[in-house]
Amino acid sequence: MANVLKPAKRVAIVAALVEGNSVRATARMVGVSKDTVSKLQVEIGAACARYQAEALVDLPCRRVQVDEIWSFVYAKARNVPQRLAGRFGVGDVWTFTAICADTKLCVSWLVGPRDSATATEFMQDVASRLASRIQLSTDGLSTYVDAVEAAFGTGVDYAMIQKIYGTSEEHDRRYSPAICIGAKRATVMGNPDPKHISTSYVERQNLTMRMGMRRFTRLTNAFSKKLANHAAAVALHFMHYNFCRIHQTLRITPAMAAGVAKSPWTVEDLVGLLSRKSN
């Protein structure tokens, strides 16, 4: 059981998970059961979500980029049994993410369906964490327009970037992504600086998510079987990304760059959040 694991075992499990190992691989590496790994991941994920909800406030961000990344739970949408059809948490699941273009801090994330209600809830959380007016960039998802207005009112410089994709005979249509052949930028409200209308950093973060969480990797059997485990993995990933991992360009962690932390966290520090959950 995770609640009787020795601290060293907990650290070993979390260290394996944040480096992109699957639950099965982690269980083999550390010498524990899959259930033990999953239970600890849910517990540490909840602790990470609580800590970041409290710590990521009054952020000095000036430019924020937003995007959403697809995954699935239990089964791909086309394979969901009829008895489970239409139930959120079975089939397509999206993770909305917001990253500060300067500090590379993940300001907020939200796991949910790709709809207006989720977009609105997500944008309201993003707005609540910022200390001043920002320039916001999103992709062309139409639900963002009303969501941004509901969250920020007119107090934001907001632009959309719509990428244009084409196909090539040289690329396998099933496994290769479409080729980006251009992009259209459009001001939605305020006065955004055209030079900074971009979603490049948040799209790079999406790649980091796919590389850093085995359940996000395409064409594997390591996908999430339960929504709670999926959400916990995302919270753990962003805690490690924000507080532990030295950013290659910044040479410090995103949390340090944003003034949220004074030094890099270790995995031991991260596991120590479990002892704060009852405080």
Where along the chain do its domains lie? Answer: 2-276
- State the average pLDDT over residues 134-162: 95
DSSP string, 7-70: HHHHHHHHHHHHTT--HHHHHHHHT--HHHHHHHHHHHHHHHHHHHHHHS-SB--SEEEEEEEE
Spatial contact of 146 and 133, defined as CB atoms under 8 Å apart: no
When computed from its CA atoms, the radius of gyration of the chain, rounded to whole angstroms, is 19
Let me know if domain 2-276 sits in CATH 1.20.120.1200: no
pLDDT of residue 175: 56
* Strand 91-100 versus strand 63-73 pairing type: antiparallel
Q: Is the pLDDT of residue 1 over 50?
A: no
pLDDT of residue 279: 45
Question: Could you tell me which of 237, 230, 28 has the C-alpha nearest to residue 13?
Answer: 28
| pLDDT per residue as tens digits for the range 41-77 | 999 999 999 999 999 999 999 999 999 999 988 888 8
Q: Is the pLDDT of residue 98 over 50?
A: yes
| pLDDT per residue as tens digits for the range 173-186 | 555 666 766 678 88
Spatial contact of 93 and 68, defined as CB atoms under 8 Å apart: no
Q: What is the pTM of this model?
A: 0.88
